[in-house]
């Protein structure tokens, strides 16, 4: 089959939807149409994958909630920690990276968790305390001469450990608000960013975020990263496993579509 100009336009349309993580096929007839072509037409799928290959990207999932892409560091679509909100400084990048990887380890500490499509919930205060406990464990290991197998993680836990859990501003526009100099600020900042990326939703009761299927797929793709594997190992060693405290939900990913 020779692809026509309309076919190439549809490929571009599909990729445009894929690069807008809050878009859902369930909300767009056009998205459903081009996604269906990717699923059912081999020539269309091969051509789409070839374009993505040239962009150093690949399809991680084409399920009902949309096309989820994985990208290499050299891709123009590659995610960088500095792209996250308020992460322009070294301290900001360390906090953003630690909280993001920590959320993945907290919600999905074992390989079976990464295969389980049930939505996981993250209560922000509980998660902040769990991550603080993980940093305390790294402090003990550091004192015993046991290295943390990731330079960024080794630097980040020290910064997190030195920050207070909460600190509220008392002057000007910052008055009454959490300060970037406390860890709960960074937990809420990054969970809020995940909402913007279509990888979480805020619970209506406040203080809890629900991780979506899109987040699980991205975590599964980066599960070999040293920082994630190290934190997930700490999570599995806890007397009360985070997968339990994260309040697994019987809801499934279909509601995202």
| Distant-in-sequence, close-in-space partners of 24: CB < 8 Å, separation ≥ 6 | 31, 65, 66, 256, 257
Indicate the pTM of the whole model. Answer: 0.85
**Cα–Cα distance between 174 and 168 in angstroms, integer?**
8
**Cα–Cα distance between 30 and 23 in angstroms, integer?**
11
| Distant-in-sequence, close-in-space partners of 76: CB < 8 Å, separation ≥ 6 | 55, 56
Q: What is the pLDDT along the chain (257 residues), one digit of tens a residue?
A: 688 999 999 999 999 999 998 899 999 999 999 999 999 999 999 999 999 999 999 999 999 989 999 999 899 988 788 778 888 899 999 999 999 999 999 999 999 999 998 889 999 999 999 999 999 999 999 999 998 888 899 999 999 999 999 999 888 877 889 999 999 999 999 999 999 999 999 887 779 999 999 999 999 998 989 999 999 998 887 655 544 445 454 444 434 44
């Amino acid at each position: 089959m020779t692809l026509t100009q309309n076919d190439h336009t549809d490929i571009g349309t599909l990729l445009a939807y894929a690069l807008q993580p809050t878009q859902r096929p369930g909300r767009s007839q056009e998205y459903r149409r081009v996604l269906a072509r990717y699923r059912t037409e081999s020539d269309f799928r091969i051509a789409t994958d070839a374009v993505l290959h040239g962009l150093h990207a690949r399809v991680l999932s084409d399920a009902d909630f949309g096309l989820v892409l994985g990208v290499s560091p050299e891709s123009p679509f590659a995610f960088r920690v500095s792209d996250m909100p308020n992460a322009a400084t070294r301290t900001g990048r360390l906090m953003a990276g630690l909280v993001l990887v920590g959320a993945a380890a907290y919600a999905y500490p074992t390989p079976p968790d990464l295969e389980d499509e049930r939505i996981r919930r993250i209560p922000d205060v509980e998660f902040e305390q769990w991550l603080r406990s993980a940093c305390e464990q790294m402090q003990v290991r550091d004192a015993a001469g046991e290295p943390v197998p990731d330079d960024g993680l080794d630097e980040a836990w020290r910064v997190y450990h030195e920050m207070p859990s909460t600190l509220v501003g008392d002057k000007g526009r910052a008055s009454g608000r959490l300060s970037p100099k406390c860890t709960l600020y960074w937990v809420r900042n990054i969970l809020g960013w995940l909402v913007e990326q279509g990888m979480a939703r805020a619970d209506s009761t406040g203080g809890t975020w629900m991780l979506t299927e899109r987040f699980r797929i991205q975590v599964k793709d980066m599960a070999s990263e040293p920082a994630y594997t190290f934190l997930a190992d700490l999570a599995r060693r806890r007397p009360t496993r985070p997968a339990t405290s994260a309040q697994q939900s019987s809801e499934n990913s279909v509601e995202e579509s």
